Amino acid sequence: MIRIAICDDMKTSLDEISSLVKDYFSSRPSARYIAEEYTSPHSLAESNKAYDILILDIIMPSLSGTEIAKRILSRNPESRIIFISSSRDYAVDAFALGALHYITKPVGRRAFEEAMNRAMESLRGKEERRLMINMRNSMVHSVECSKIIYIESIGYTRIVHTAAGNYEEVKQTLSALYEELEKICHGKFIMPYRGYIVNLDSIRTITPGKITLCDGSAVLIKRGDYRRIRDIFFSWVFSSHK
């Protein structure tokens, strides 16, 4: 499911972009999506929802589209940004944030389709490689599996460690998370010790007593499991670099 947020303080412009989104996906029935509209830039900036694509007007009162993008990217760096503006003056700032496209108003159908194609190409193949995390207050966060370093179970909470930050999974057990990861990206993760799931790509060294990860964290292992874990790791490294 592709999640899209559209933000423009002008209702007529918002309706126009929403219509273009509907037209775009109407010719792509296999692509499932949800589009949510915002006329208030503050409402979007303060939202806890994770979006795959953000379509943002730049010039808005009190909070610009670039400021919204900065706030959302700090929480969800995987979001794809498309900026829309009546002026080209903000293009440098927009692309400095990693925007995929910058469209000037009035928005042409061809320009919009090109922007969406670029966003969809960027997302292609990644939707099925994302883990959905059930956080507190009914918030759901989407994390790209390749960004996960390790997951640890502490009490009734599973902590998902990524380079961008840590997320608390409050519903699924560690075993359920591992089963989900196996479905999404088979063989990429291992449970080396009770209470832990480790991304094989995040392993830096393995010794008879522990695994050291790319962020400096260490996961203890039983000495008797050292060779088994080492062999799994070497097999993964070999197969992923063929």
Interval 171-197 mean pLDDT: 92
Confidence class for position 127, pLDDT limits 50, 70, 90:
low
Give the count of beta carbons closer than 10 Å to the beta carbon of residue 36. Answer: 14
**pLDDT for residue 240:** 53
Q: Which two tokens stand for residue 207?
A: 């010794």
**pLDDT for residue 97:** 81
Q: Is the pLDDT of residue 195 over 90?
A: yes
Tell which wins on pLDDT, 127 or 173.
173
**Taken in order 106, 84, 42, 15, is the CA torsion positive or negative?**
positive
Q: How far apart are CA 17 and CA 209, in angstroms?
A: 56
Confidence class for position 48, pLDDT limits 50, 70, 90:
confident
Confidence class for position 32, pLDDT limits 50, 70, 90:
confident
Q: Is the pLDDT of residue 122 over 50?
A: yes
Indicate the range of 20-24, 31-35, 93-97, 113-117 predicted with least confidence.
Answer: 93-97
**pLDDT for residue 126:** 55
* Residue-range domains of the chain with CATH: 2-124 (3.40.50.2300), 150-240 (2.40.50.1020)
Confidence class for position 100, pLDDT limits 50, 70, 90:
confident
DSSP letter, residue 58: S
pLDDT, tens digit (0-9, with 9 covering 90-100), for 206-220: 999 999 999 999 999
**pLDDT for residue 20:** 96
Question: Quick check: helix, strand or coil at residue 166?
Answer: strand
What's the Rg (C-alpha) of the chain? 21
Phi-psi domain of 208 (left: phi exceeds 0; alpha: psi -120 through 50; beta: other): alpha
**pLDDT for residue 242:** 42
pTM confidence score: 0.55
Q: Is the pLDDT of residue 49 over 90?
A: no
**pLDDT for residue 206:** 93
Q: How far apart are CA 158 and CA 178, in angstroms?
A: 11
Q: Please provide the average confidence, as pLDDT, over all residues in the chain.
A: 89
**Residue 94 CB burial class (10 angstroms; 0-12, 13-18, ≥19):** buried
How would DSSP label each residue in 132-154? EEE-GGG-EEEEEGGGEEEEEEE
Confidence class for position 19, pLDDT limits 50, 70, 90:
very high
